[in-house]
Chain A
């Protein structure tokens, strides 16, 4: 279907494309091992977060929590903010985003262009502080609606009801699903759906490992695990460093012509790891992974060119996924 009543109706239904050049070669007579990319950059605002934003707003409307003219509050400076801003605009709401004060100016410009208002939290506290600040603002403004993607079941349900069924429809022979671990919504929703339908499926998480400044908490007890996270949905969880993420992001555009953001590079790194294990063990594998967004928003980091060491330095201390 190529005609839609509005942009919101064009959410999801993204293509799944094979990666014949990046998939590992197998010995003659061995079962095939294939990589497949789910192109989530083909969503209305260019990222997988459109699915969660739309489902969270709809769920709040159906529960009577949101009425035209209401204010939505969310801790985010990333793709969720952009997705929510678009959905809020089209559904008649105001959006306030809370983010660390040291986000890039281009990110602030992008969010304001889509119509979001911004409240800054202290840079030193990083993302944990932005979540805490948003929770505090929610108490001060009881009439504002915080959708709170980290704990909103509609975030995971978006993937249970759309991403999962799309993958199974397009790739009934799927053996592995690999995605990024942030709010955990993509992995929880898609993972639960696929576990119900596909015996033996492996649900694999790729978690970005940032420069150490990002982990500068004062105390272990200030740590944070999203409320949505349920470890029993996952089969394995990989930590992927900046260098590997950049390397794979460049490889994806070099070899297969897919220009993606760095979180996708981290996911591809984990996908290749499980694909090579399958080759080694002589097992058939159809490994589907998520391309979260395109690379456009990250060009100004300079990390697409130059040496890997330079790129690593450019991203050091940033939450690049």
Chain B
């Protein structure tokens, strides 16, 4: 058995697009070193030069923030689930719907609207 690691969209360039990858390690630090051996560069995006977790990265083991479990020294076991997420401003935008429509579909809709406007203007 291994540890399942959920990768956020912005870091999937390091995992060949994979949302979930497997890794091993007795601590979070070990796990990140293990992951970096197959997904080179990933560790460097999560850990600062000072050797601490990046301020804008949150890591959860079984849904609990590792900063309250020993941070990089947090103990891991086979079968644990690790989730990596970037920090975003929440809490104040109830139902702002950051993108029920994804940013992709918004830009393609805007592009379609612009094309339609141009077509009308050309007549």
Contacts and interface: CB of A to CB of B under 8 A. Distances in A.
Interface string A208-235: 1110111111111111111000010011
A317 B85 contact: no
Interface stretch (A62-70, A96-104, A191-199, A247-255): A96-104
Interface of A: 75-80, 99-100, 102-104, 107, 123-124, 126-128, 130-131, 149-150, 180-184, 205, 207-210, 212-226, 231, 234-241, 261, 263, 297-298, 301, 316-321
Most chain A CB inside 10 Å of its own CB: which residue of B8, B57, B97, B106: B97
Contacts of B9: 212, 215-216
A124 B110 CA distance: 12
A126 B86 CA distance: 13
Contacts of B96: 77-78, 99-100, 102-103, 107, 126-127, 130, 318-319
Given A102-B100, A231-B68, 19 more contacts: A76-B93, A100-B98, A102-B98, A102-B101, A103-B93, A123-B98, A123-B106, A214-B99, A216-B99, A220-B56, A223-B87, A225-B56, A226-B89, A237-B68, A241-B63, A317-B98, A319-B97, A320-B94, A321-B91
A38 B100 CA distance: 31
Nearest to A208: B90
Contacts of A126: 88, 96, 98-99
Contacts of A216: 9-10, 98-99, 102-103
Interface of B: 8-11, 45, 54-58, 60, 63-65, 67-68, 83, 85-103, 106-107
Contacts, number: 192
Given A220-B10, A318-B98, A215 B93 contact: no
A218 B97 contact: no
Nearest to A205: B65
Nearest to A77: B96
B78 to A, nearest CB: 21
Contacts of B94: 77-79, 107, 261, 263, 297, 319-321
A104 B103 contact: no
Most chain B CB inside 10 Å of its own CB: which residue of A76, A183, A207, A219: A207
Nearest to B100: A317
A76 B94 CA distance: 8
Contact of A217 (B10, B65, B107): B10
Contacts of B58: 239
A291 to B, nearest CB: 14
Contact of B92 (A76, A209, A212, A234): A76
Given A215-B85, A225-B55, A316 B95 contact: no
B104 to A, nearest CB: 9
Contacts of A183: 91-92
The 10 closest A-B pairs by CB, nearest first: A182-B91, A223-B56, A78-B94, A126-B98, A124-B103, A237-B65, A223-B87, A213-B99, A317-B100, A127-B89
A212 B93 contact: no
11 contacts: A77-B96, A100-B93, A124-B106, A149-B92, A181-B91, A209-B85, A214-B98, A215-B85, A215-B88, A239-B83, A240-B63
A27 B93 CA distance: 42
B92 A75 contact: yes
Most chain B CB inside 10 Å of its own CB: which residue of A207, A317, A319: A319
Contact of B98 (A127, A182, A238): A127
Contacts of B90: 127, 181-182, 207-208, 210, 214, 319, 321
A77 B93 contact: yes
B119 to A, nearest CB: 24
Most chain A CB inside 10 Å of its own CB: which residue of B55, B65, B67, B107: B65
B57 to A, nearest CB: 6
